[in-house]
Amino acid sequence: MIYCLTGKLLERTPDMAVVECGGVGYQAAIPSTTAGALPSVGETCTLYTQMNVSENDVSLYGFATKDAQAMFRILTGVSGVGPKVGLAILSVMDPARIALAISGGDHKAFTAANGVGPKLGQRIVLELKDKVGKNLGATLDLSAPAAAAAPAGGMAAAAAALTGLGYTGAEAAAALSGLDPALPTAELIRLALQGIGKRR
């Protein structure tokens, strides 16, 4: 198992990167979010990787962060989600956004990725809902957007987190209306995402 590659970036496209380690160039398929996070060609970088070995192929997948690497492994554990679909999801959503969508039951968020229809989106949410609560919350910093806005209060922090996840200010306000401002920020975000998922 190759856990990560650290070396000179030889080549980068929106879906592929080549990293030279010890005189060997390793090619890895990457999500577009990782391509945007990599340095310029010729500079040193680290890719966190997942290697898939099959009867006819050995493939390497690379990610800019450990969170993305972990999320890829979790997503591809869902029936019907292969490596290509896992990369497609991570190309349109970061790991924290994925975890929050799963937690909030927002299966339609996944249909923004190529190869994901409504049924597969529902399956991802159904199969991973328990894992989000038990495992992902401990490994992913889901409160980062809210923490940055904490001084403004719970509702403001939750609104900032929702807009940081790509929702408009109006959508965030509508989702938070009627919720108890005394609730913890994380709970406000969870309930708001549930409400958004039900309205879609």
In the chain, the largest separation of any two C-alpha atoms, in whole Å, equals 60
Q: How large is the average pLDDT for residues 52-69?
A: 90
pLDDT confidence of 200, banded at 50, 70, 90?
low
What pLDDT, on the 0 to 100 scale, is given for residue 14?
92
Q: What is the CA radius of gyration of the chain?
A: 18
pLDDT confidence of 184, banded at 50, 70, 90?
confident
What pLDDT, on the 0 to 100 scale, is given for residue 29?
97
Chain position carrying tokens 């980062």: 144
CATH of domain 144-199: 1.10.8
- Domain pair 4-63 / 144-199, same fold: no
**CATH of range 67-139; options 3.30.465.10, 1.10.10.10, 3.20.20.140, 1.10.150.20:** 1.10.150.20
Is residue 145's pLDDT more than 50?
no
Q: Out of 51-65, 96-110, 181-195, pick the least confident.
A: 181-195
Average pLDDT, the chain: 84
CATH architecture of residue range(s) 4-63: Beta Barrel (2.40)
Q: Read out DSSP for 140-179?
A: S-TTHHHHHTGGG-HHHHHHHHHHHTT--HHHHHHHHTTS
What pLDDT, on the 0 to 100 scale, is given for residue 140?
53
Is residue 86's pLDDT more than 50?
yes
Of residues 170 and 24, more confidence is placed in 24
Domain boundaries, the chain: 4-63, 67-139, 144-199
Is residue 127's pLDDT more than 80?
yes
Taking CA atoms, 58 is separated from 20, 31, 95, 167, in Å, by 18, 18, 25, 38
Angle value at C-alpha 145, between 142 and 150, nearest 5 degrees? 110
What pLDDT, on the 0 to 100 scale, is given for residue 164?
73
Q: Out of 34-43, 88-97, 132-141, pick the least confident.
A: 132-141
pLDDT digits (tens, 9 = 90+) for 7-50: 999 999 999 999 999 999 999 999 999 999 999 999 999 999 99
